[in-house]
Amino acid sequence: MTYEIKIKPKAQKQLKKLPKEVTERILKKIIFIKDTPQSFMKKLESKDIWSLRIGDYRALIDIFENKKLMEIVKVGHRKEVYKDLEEGW
């Protein structure tokens, strides 16, 4: 079953700051996985969040099974995207 995709305002701002071609790659990948998202992502150990790898970039996604909803909560370079998760995000 297809999941609805929602992008949080913070993630929208982060996408706008990225180069256009990177943003397009990220959005294409998110749309591509919307039927079976968990099979393409890695669950983070410390949080109830999933990480989607798109080259050197990551999209952090919250999945709501009961609503069939994927909520994009954060997008960024792999070196930066996890930083505030450790600080209690």
In the predicted structure, residue 64 carries a pLDDT above the cut 90: yes
In the predicted structure, residue 86 carries a pLDDT above the cut 90: no
pTM score: 0.90
Mean pLDDT of 76-89: 80
- Which pair of structure tokens corresponds to residue 23? 């943003």
- Which pair of structure tokens corresponds to residue 8? 């949080």
| Residue position matching structure tokens 């749309």 | 31
Strand ranges across the sheet with 4-7: 4-7, 69-77, 57-64, 50-54, 42-43
Domain 4-84 class in CATH? alpha beta
Q: Within a 10 A sphere around the Cβ of 63, how many other Cβ atoms?
A: 17
